């Protein structure tokens, strides 16, 4: 375990918010969730170091596998199709895309097949690499982005979707991204937002931080030279129901002092009808966001940033 300073602002004054255990490995080990008193970033501290973190991502970790159950946020081809349409406006065929933390490769294969772009992906997990190879004929590069050393100015687009909340230093990852993007190249980032939404979901997915607001996310990008073209909340309409569910689960856990959930548990599996309804909501929301409307609330944050031409 290692103690760390705030990755966003460098301050070392924090307040402990609560203590929790890991839902996957069930070692009984406890982790403190703290908030930076200077900038408000919420993160796990002390945390497993780079060597220890591997055992928290076992073979069963769900993003390494192709999703088969009804999980509305994983069955997202309709969202990817929209993303492809948006990207086509500025990415020519054969443009080079890199996805960081590509997992089992579902998204990347979709972008390759629909968008006709040249795709590369990275991940830390040999299991993810194996799935991506077997299911989608994708050859992921294994390792931390900073250690892989892609040549300067290699990519037209880097996609960083729900990765920053897992990594040891978002600052160095974003800096490295800037280096490997071509001049004028684009970075797309998604992260979970709101510190009070920290819950079961984060523990199951092994997050080590959440971002408080748009300024938080913009700051880590601007500090590394990016021009932030757009930064908005995402999952707008589901914010209230999701926030309510997370807060109720937290309340229940606090009252009964339990954490008896199995990996990949109930929170992601939904009845088919509800699933269909949620999909409709997201389709509508994506349409609105695609028109350029930035939402002031949501469950996640996303940003589109550009390297100087």
8-state DSSP, 2: B
CA triple 79-129-118, angle to 5 deg? 55
If one asks whether residue 219 binds Zn ion (CB under 5 A), the answer comes out as: no
Q: Which value, in Å, is the radius of gyration of the alpha carbons in the chain? A: 19
If one asks whether residue 148 binds Zn ion (CB under 5 A), the answer comes out as: no
If one asks whether residue 231 binds Zn ion (CB under 5 A), the answer comes out as: no
- Selection from 104, 140, 149, 106 nearest residue 122 by Cα: 140
| Residue closer to Zn ion (CB basis): 37 or 274 | 37
For residue 10, count other CB atoms closer than 10 A to its CB.
11
If one asks whether residue 39 binds Zn ion (CB under 5 A), the answer comes out as: yes
* Sign of the torsion formed by the C-alpha atoms of 265, 271, 272 and 273: negative
If one asks whether residue 38 binds Zn ion (CB under 5 A), the answer comes out as: yes
If one asks whether residue 135 binds Zn ion (CB under 5 A), the answer comes out as: no
Question: Cβ 135 to Zn ion, closest distance in Å?
Answer: 39
Contacts to Zn ion from residues 16-35, by CB under 5 A: none
For residue 184, count other CB atoms closer than 10 A to its CB.
12
If one asks whether residue 42 binds Zn ion (CB under 5 A), the answer comes out as: no
If one asks whether residue 195 binds Zn ion (CB under 5 A), the answer comes out as: no
The owner of tokens 């390792």 is 143
Question: Cβ 174 to Zn ion, closest distance in Å?
Answer: 15
If one asks whether residue 8 binds Zn ion (CB under 5 A), the answer comes out as: yes
The HSE-up count of residue 134 (CA atoms within 13 Å, CB side) is: 11
> How far are the Cα atoms of 18, 20, 43, 249 from residue 195, in angstroms, in the given order?
12, 15, 9, 15
Question: Cβ 12 to Zn ion, closest distance in Å?
Answer: 9
| Residue closer to Zn ion (CB basis): 9 or 303 | 9
**In sequence order, what E strands does the chain have?**
14-21, 30-36, 42-44, 96-99, 118-123, 141-142, 155-161, 181-192, 209-210, 227-234, 300-306
Question: Cβ 41 to Zn ion, closest distance in Å?
Answer: 5
The owner of tokens 């599996």 is 269
If one asks whether residue 11 binds Zn ion (CB under 5 A), the answer comes out as: yes
If one asks whether residue 36 binds Zn ion (CB under 5 A), the answer comes out as: yes
Pair 262, 24: CB distance under 8 Å: no
If one asks whether residue 215 binds Zn ion (CB under 5 A), the answer comes out as: no
Interacting stretch for Zn ion, rule CB under 5 A, among 8-16, 24-32, 55-63, 215-223? Answer: 8-16
Interacting stretch for Zn ion, rule CB under 5 A, among 5-13, 55-63, 260-268, 278-286? Answer: 5-13
| Residue closer to Zn ion (CB basis): 108 or 164 | 164
If one asks whether residue 100 binds Zn ion (CB under 5 A), the answer comes out as: no
Task: Return residues touching Zn ion (CB under 5 A).
Answer: 6, 8-9, 11, 36, 38-39, 41
């Amino acid at each position: 375990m290692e103690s760390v300073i705030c990755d966003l602002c460098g301050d070392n004054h924090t307040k402990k918010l609560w203590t929790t255990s890991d839902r996957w490995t069930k070692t009984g080990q406890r982790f403190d969730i703290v908030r930076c008193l200077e900038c408000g970033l919420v993160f796990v501290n002390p945390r497993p170091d780079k060597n220890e973190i591997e055992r928290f991502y076992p073979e069963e970790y769900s993003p390494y596998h192709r999703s088969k159950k009804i999980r509305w946020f994983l069955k997202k081809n309709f969202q990817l199709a929209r993303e492809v349409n948006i990207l086509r406006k500025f990415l020519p065929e054969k443009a080079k895309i890199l996805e960081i933390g590509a997992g089992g490769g579902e998204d990347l294969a979709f972008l390759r097949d629909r968008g006709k772009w040249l795709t590369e992906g990275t991940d830390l997990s040999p299991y993810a690499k194996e799935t991506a190879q077997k299911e989608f004929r994708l050859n992921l590069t294994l390792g931390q982005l900073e250690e892989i050393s892609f040549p300067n100015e290699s990519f037209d687009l880097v996609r960083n979707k729900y990765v920053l909340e897992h990594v040891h230093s978002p600052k160095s990852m974003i800096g490295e991204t800037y280096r490997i993007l071509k001049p004028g190249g684009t970075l797309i980032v998604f992260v979970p937002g709101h510190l009070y939404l920290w819950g079961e979901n984060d523990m199951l997915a092994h997050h080590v931080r959440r971002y408080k607001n748009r300024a938080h996310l913009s700051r880590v990008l601007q500090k590394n030279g990016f021009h932030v073209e757009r930064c908005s909340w995402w999952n707008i309409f589901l914010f209230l129901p999701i926030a309510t569910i997370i807060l109720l689960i937290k309340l229940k856990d606090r009252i009964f002092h339990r954490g008896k959930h199995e990996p990949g548990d109930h929170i992601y599996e939904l009845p088919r009808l509800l699933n269909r309804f949620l999909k409709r909501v997201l389709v509508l929301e994506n349409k609105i966001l695609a028109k350029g409307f930035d939402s002031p609330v949501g469950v996640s944050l996303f940003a589109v940033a550009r390297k100087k031409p």
